[in-house]
Amino acid sequence: MVNISLAGNPNVGKTTVFNRLTKSFEHVGNWHGVTVDAASKEISFEGERLIITDLPGIYSLTPYSGEECISRDAIYTGGDLIVNVCDAGNLARNLYLTLQLLEYGANVVLAVNMVNELSRDTKLSYEKLSRTLGIKVVPIDLKFGDELLTEALDALKNKQKAAKLVYLDKLPLDDISRVIKDNAYLAGIPERYAVVKILEGDAYITEKLNLTERQMRELAKYKDRQAEVAAARYGYIDKILSEVFTYSGNEKNDRLGIDRILLNKYLALPVFALIIFSIFIIIFGEFRFGDITVGFIGYWLKFALSAFIENCIKLPMSSALTDADALPWVTGLVTDGIIGGMASVLIFLPQIVLLFFFLALLEDSGYISRVAFMTDGLFQKIGLSGRSVFTMLMGFGCSATAVLTARGLDDDMMRKKTVALTPFMSCSAKLPVYLAICSAYFAAGQVFVIIGMYLIGIGVSVAYAAIGQRISRFKSGSTGFIMELPPYRFPSGARIFQLLWHNAKTFVIRVGTAVFLLSAVVWLLSHFTFGFVYTGNSTEGSMLWHIAGAVSFIFAPLGFGNANAAAALISGLVAKEAVISTVDALGGINTVFTGQFASASAFSFLVFTLLYIPCIATLTATAKETGVKWMFFCSALQLFAAYTLALISYWTGVLFISHTGIAVTVFAVITVALLAAAAASYLLKNKEKPCGACRKKCKSRKSCGYKGE
């Protein structure tokens, strides 16, 4: 049995290599910090049992956040071999970690990834690089074969002779060596490595060395030499790279390319809004002109699938059951309960798969890192950072998996807040609810209501974050935001197919398990009394009617104070899709929202579904990441937002429907008042003066950052 770890900088394709070696489907994306936990899998290769471990990305062996410590510990505690994955287009920064691995004395094989992305004018000599570093170097791309593992096994059998790291001679290593020699031996840390880490002020190694106070005093003068160490390493790297790379042709002049527009100070945010809006139109857009419906790919796929389910599954099944003279409750359970419930969710398969597809496209292309950059200023004002964007964007897919990605945030309060706010990002499981209710009540304006839901969710999270930043207990520390923007990459055809297939499969499995079970249970509970008597076509007197009826008064002020709505929201705690499958199993949307103000009730119900407590999976993940106390705190925030905003939307809706004139007037007055207040506060705010000290003309003392030469 051999342990091989994949280590390297963030976003160099470690997980892609892992997936290819082990035939897995771990989440990948073109941004930093996708992987937050180590993943291992056993494979067999040429008769050997290999355990391959994928580690979170690190820049150095002196880490900052939790997930980076996982990688450091894995490298320190062993593994027989480290495959150091590098990005061919970013070797300088990648080799910085490689040098540290060699300083530590690890057995390393360098896998130079994405060699296909090197421009044609660039030649990279792998033999020279291998000779200089004294380790095996294997060039790979997306379609690499056995060569990586063959070389890795060879490196295990025949010990490699790492080159002498000459740059270390520039540092005062011997002086420190004398002091800590015995400590390093006792701690089992390679002596030269321990010395370098002392110069870098590495707290972890210093603690391991167990130094006496006298030794500490002797070493005091070597503190704060990290810049010197970094300069020595980078100087060596620049020298190596000038030897192994040969360029022909001219250096590109316009290095920004399309980013000149996408990252333009004024165009960046409008272009981002336009991209998101287009995605929504493609997925959900359907516009009715008289009898003709114009829709995009999402609409037509849904249309075809719903016709298929109705004609090829539901109708034959129900006539078969009628022909077989099945008991009426069995027919009801199967056709209305199970098939009806599952179908109500399943018909949205194309739209949900499309949503995941576009999310993956944003991630894979590298655009999402640009979004993090362009929104960082806004996020900074509310105590978050551009890094939170990744987690929140993932929240549009699935909150439960998204909250895990918050681990990459180094400020603890910021991490907890990001976890708290992620469930407000409307997750994909809520889509069937919006789509089903919208097509019943807001047919033509469907796409706008859906966009509205997303905006309400974002608005609530921004409001909470802004309030949190004003309360000292919830204020985030000001962490430096330093993030690399990856180059744009476009996913291959195979990757697109894999994404669509994987997401469709995951969704169908969810419908086949959670939604299937809930539909059956809800139908049975709603068609049998406590004495197990079948209630026939009506749900009146059933178990669910009594239970949900008892709590439904809570929702009366929101416009949906009936047993069916309450039951739907309760089953939504298991999985959000179940909100709509429950409504369907209980007799359809029309039984939930009734009367003159049905559409106001429907809208308020949508708002409540968007904001109230997320599913159990998300609650569990929140508790695991931030503690049970914080989870309950989040739930309280969610319930408060859900109830208040649903209340406001219902009564606003009612006012609009009954007294349109008054409503419009009230809104006009409120809007004008708000605008006036904003203008007044802007005018009254003390305008900042230039600092007057710096040579360039800055706008304010605060933003200048000038601290004297």
* Residues at the interface with another protein (CB under 8 A): 59-60, 62, 64, 89-90, 92-93, 96, 200-201, 224, 226-227, 230-231, 233-235, 255-256, 259, 263-266, 268-269, 372-378, 380-381, 386, 478, 480-485, 694-696, 703-707, 709
What string of DSSP letters covers 540-579?
A: TTSHHHHHHHHHGGGGGGGT--SHHHHHHHHHTTT-TTHH
For 408-448, give the DSSP string: G--SHHHHHHHHHHGGGS--GGGHHHHHHHHHHH-GGGHHH
| Torsions phi, psi for 136 (to 5 deg) | -70, 140
Q: Measured from the CB of residue 348, what is the shortest distance to another protein in angstroms?
A: 35
Question: Of 654 and 694, which CB lies nearer to another protein in the complex structure?
Answer: 694
**Rounded to 5 degrees, what angle do the CA atoms 263, 267, 273 make?**
95
Give least dist CB 677 to another protein, A.
Answer: 21
Smallest separation, CB 704 to another protein (Å) = 8
Identify which of residues 212 and 478 has a Cβ nearer to another protein in the complex.
Answer: 478
- Of 375 and 461, which CB lies nearer to another protein in the complex structure? 375
Residue 49: Cβ within 10 Å count: 10
CB of 108 to another protein, least distance (A): 18
Altogether, the residues listed in the chain come to a count of 709
When the beta carbons of 85 and 437 are compared against another protein, the nearer one is 85
- The residues facing 286 across adjacent strands are 295
Cα separation, 221 vs 642, in Å, equals 58
- Of 302 and 415, which CB lies nearer to another protein in the complex structure? 415
Which phi and psi angles does 48 have, rounded to 5°? -100, 145
| Minimum distance of another protein from residue 418's CB (angstroms) | 17
Rg (the chain; Cα; Å): 30
Residue type, 138: V
Our CB check for another protein shows the closer of 116 and 478 to be: 478
Q: Which is nearer to another protein, 44 or 242 (CB)?
A: 242
The full 3-state SS of 66-110, as one line of letters, equals HHHHHHHHHHHCCCCEEEEEEEHHHHHHHHHHHHHHHHHCCCEEE
Shortest Å distance, C-beta 96 to another protein: 7
Retrieve residue 253's tokens. Answer: 């002049």
CA-nearest of 316, 302, 308 to 355 is 302
CB of 614 to another protein, least distance (A): 30
Compute the least distance from the CB of residue 655 to another protein, in Å: 35
For another protein, the closer of residues 172 and 445 by Cβ is 172
Nearer to another protein, 2 or 269 (CB): 269
- Asked whether the beta carbons of 129 and 241 are under 8 A apart, the reply is no
- Compute the least distance from the CB of residue 408 to another protein, in Å: 13
